[in-house]
Amino acid sequence: MGKVQQVDCECKEKKTEFSLVRVKGTWKSKPGKKINKDPVDCVSPAKIFESVTEHGTSWTVVSPITFTYKVTETHGLLDPGNSTLLVGHITDSQQLEDIKKSNKPIRRFIVIDQEVCDIYGSKLTEYLEANNVMYKILALPTTEENKSMETALKILDEVNNFGLDRRTEPIIAIGGGVCLDIVGLAASLYRRRTPYIRVPTTLLSYIDASVGAKTGVNFANCKNKLGAYIPPVAALLDLSFIQSVPRRHISNGLAEMLKMALMKHKGLFELLEEHGCMLLDTKFQADNTVYGHSSQKAASQATRIAITTMLEELAPNLWEDDLNRLVDFGHLISPALEMKVLPSLLHGEAVNIDMSYMVYVSHESGLLTEEEKKRIISCMVGLELPVWHEEFTMELIQKSLQDRLKHSGGLVRMPLPVGLGQAEIFNSTSYDVLYRAHVKWCEELSVSSDSTCDA
């Protein structure tokens, strides 16, 4: 047996930090952190770190990316005198002034959900023509069943034919969460990133899909498996769209609102607990009958708190670098359930079934009292949300949590309520707790006493 030669791994390494400065239109790297700014136009926040060893040279680039986007609540978005739809995304006052002075017509490509177009299409056309806009309106059926790359590519083909200026002519998406997700992904792909605007027309998208950065389509029978983190330049919110939404879809949106209440805001929970029925009856609109002005006040408070708490969680973590996310509550098992029974459950309904079960997990773990558990379930029922489903089996739970381990850095990262409006992330909930919670959940909430429950 020959001798094993010892390899010396202690290679001499020379490290240098470079700042990047722009001088007369060109970028130059300058060693060190301190830069004489006299001849320099600007200093980039980006850095280059050079490492030289006897084996070669490597460069590490650190390039901070900042996204700025607006979330704006407005009224009468399709009123011809309201310019928000056309220029509400612009933050630079000089740019806004230049547009007002320019004789160049505004051009907009608009993707609208087919059902929304049936209701608001003529009003949208009147708005665009009253403002002398050159436009293309593409109406598409946007449901979970056709939330696909094929739909995104169809949009891109039409966008390409229209010929957008990717810097000054944002694509506008008008519809529910599925529409906003598909258009967002299409925009992020076109010429590597074209700005887009979200106009939510359902309660669910109003307080959830519209205010974040996620885009995506379903793939390989998995929900949102293809996507990107590219926020819109603006989300334009107008509660008047909600008046045409069916009652079931109002409940669907209330599920995501309840999620934020349980995770972060006891006051929102109490508001939904007390006024949920009124919000359903009035569809978040001002009401001059039995409810009076209290309906408008409750609607404004509920949406404002839901959006604020959602932005608090999303803004510091747009790219989900931190995998401990309270907004994942209700989203551990529900994606698999939703895809399994498609199209019988709406997104918020599947989320609420997941949340309902997790409330039992919290109670079984000693995190919620029996009274708190009952109040939460009672609130869900009051919001006309499903709290149990026969396909939500232990087998589905185990498979979903195993999949989550693969995509969450080896930890389950399970958000659970630890009181009303308070939550924590847990990684070590035992199978025994999950099983006992599932048995009690089925016993207490299944649709009939003789329903079977797969444990």
Give the residue among 202, 193, 168 at the shortest CA–CA distance from 346: 202
Q: Coil, helix or strand for 216?
A: strand
Q: Answer yes or no: 214 catalytic.
A: yes
- Yes or no: say if 291 and 278 are a contact pair by the CB < 8 Å rule: yes
The CA distances from residue 134 to 112, 181, 215, 370, in Å, are: 16, 25, 27, 60
Active-site annotation holder among 214, 259, 264, 373: 214
Rounded-to-integer distance, Cα 130 and Cα 124, Å: 10
**Which residues have a Cβ under 8 Å from the Cβ of 351 and sit 6 or more positions away?**
255, 256, 259, 330, 331, 334
Determine how many CB atoms are found less than 10 A away from the CB of residue 314: 18
Rounded-to-integer distance, Cα 166 and Cα 164, Å: 6
The CA distances from residue 211 to 46, 208, 230, in Å, are: 28, 6, 11
Give the residue among 223, 163, 242 at the shortest CA–CA distance from 346: 223
The DSSP code sequence of 170-195 is -EEEEESHHHHHHHHHHHHHGGG---
Give the residue among 271, 261, 312, 207 at the shortest CA–CA distance from 419: 261
- Token pair 């990684």: residue: 427
Q: Annotated active-site positions, please? A: 214
